[in-house]
Amino acid sequence: MSSMSRVNSAVSPGGPKDPGVPGGPNGPGGPQDSGGPQDSGGPQDPGGPSGPSGAGDGVAVVAQYDDGYTAAEVGVGPHPLPWPEGAQYDPELLEHGDRRNVVDRYRYWRREAIVRDLDTRRHDFHVAVENWGHDFNIGSVVRTANAFLAKEVHIVGRRRWNRRGAMVTDRYQHVRHHPDTAGLTAWAAAEGLPVIGIDNLPGAVPLETTQLPRRCLLLFGQEGPGLSEEARKHAAMVCSIAQFGSTRSINAGAAAAIAMHAWVSRHARIESSGGPAAQSRPDSSGEPGPESP
């Protein structure tokens, strides 16, 4: 079980470091709902991919990592004078502290500034999940997509989804809604994105030995039934995840995380520190990938 570390209210001028939770994420900004991502198929609000934008975005007192585990204080406190200069900084966060679940690079930044910076280096894969019965895994998928810097997350079927598992990361992740799988696959075809289904079905190829395309859409079925017949019909291929125990399947949110990490392992260059390097790996044709710091 993780333990929570308390952070002093003052931080050094050289840049705050949030110790967060050993083995866990750094200081989330709380379980509050973001107001919802854009559900339309069109472009997102320039102020950010979801929810309202503005100062004081993350000045929250209580933060939640997982169900039933809360703490009184996380993140970093007020920034000592002199304050750093730049339009990306939020004066209210500088004054009162930043309690959001963001990496140190984005401490005290305005939400819309973070989104703009992420947009300059998002990866080339998209993630889609079918939502026919209000799947509780979608929040987890959105959170993982944010961590691996997916281009967009696509919700197929029901417009409403449980945002609690996203831990407010949907504020920084572009989310698009499609009323049905046919609409999703038509959009993917127009964008030139092959649809890669992830499910343990007869005839599926092992994800562990498959070279995923750089530009692709990873499609996941709902918890329980898995990929719908419509999704299987339009998938360029279906990949399975190797399992060695007695269970027939793994959690849909976990499967999505494994598949996204498989893409990152193939296409993203990783520094020894564990962070993203200067650019993605070249693809099989030798073309360089998108820049990412």
For the stretch 89-121, pLDDT in tens is 999 999 999 999 899 999 999 999 999 999 999
pLDDT at 35: 38
Q: Angle CA(169)–CA(167)–CA(108) in degrees, nearest 5?
A: 60
Are 128 and 218 in contact by the 8 Å Cβ rule? The answer is yes
Q: What are phi and psi of 88, to 5 degrees?
A: -75, -15
Domains of the chain: 1-109 (no CATH), 125-270 (3.40.1280.10)
Q: What are phi and psi of 176, to 5 degrees?
A: -120, 140
In this predicted structure, the answer to whether residue 203 has a pLDDT above a threshold of 80 is yes
Average pLDDT for the chain: 77
Residue 135 pLDDT grade (very low, low, confident, very high; cuts 50, 70, 90): low
235-268 pLDDT per residue, tens: 999 999 999 999 988 988 999 999 999 999 999 9
From 45-59, 98-112, 196-210, the region with the lowest mean pLDDT: 45-59
Q: How far apart are the first and last CA of the chain?
A: 32
Q: Based on C-alpha coordinates, what's the Rg of the chain?
A: 19
C-alpha 201/C-alpha 82 separation (Å) is 59
pLDDT at 273: 59
For residue 159, give the DSSP letter. Answer: S
Outline where DSSP puts E strands in 191-247: 195-198, 205-206, 216-220, 237-240
C-alpha 119/C-alpha 139 separation (Å) is 20
In this predicted structure, the answer to whether residue 205 has a pLDDT above a threshold of 50 is yes
The 3-class secondary structure across the chain, one letter per residue, is CCCCCCCCCCCCCCCCCCCCCCCCCCCCCCCCCCCCECCCCCCCCCCCCECCCCCCCCCCCCEEEECCEEECCCCECCCCCCCCCCCCECHHHHHHCECCCCCHHHCCECHHHHHHHHHCCCCCEEEEEEECCCCCCHHHHHHHHHHCCCCCEEEEECCCCCCHHHCCHHHCCCEEEECCHHHHHHHHHHHCCCEEEECCCCCCEEHHHCCCCCCEEEEECECCCECCHHHHHHCCEEEECCCCCCCCCCCHHHHHHHHHHHHHHHHEEECCCCCEEEEECCCCCCCCCCECC
pLDDT at 137: 85
Residue 49 pLDDT grade (very low, low, confident, very high; cuts 50, 70, 90): low
pLDDT at 272: 65
C-alpha 102/C-alpha 164 separation (Å) is 17
pLDDT at 43: 35
C-alpha 119/C-alpha 111 separation (Å) is 12
In this predicted structure, the answer to whether residue 86 has a pLDDT above a threshold of 60 is yes
In this predicted structure, the answer to whether residue 34 has a pLDDT above a threshold of 80 is no
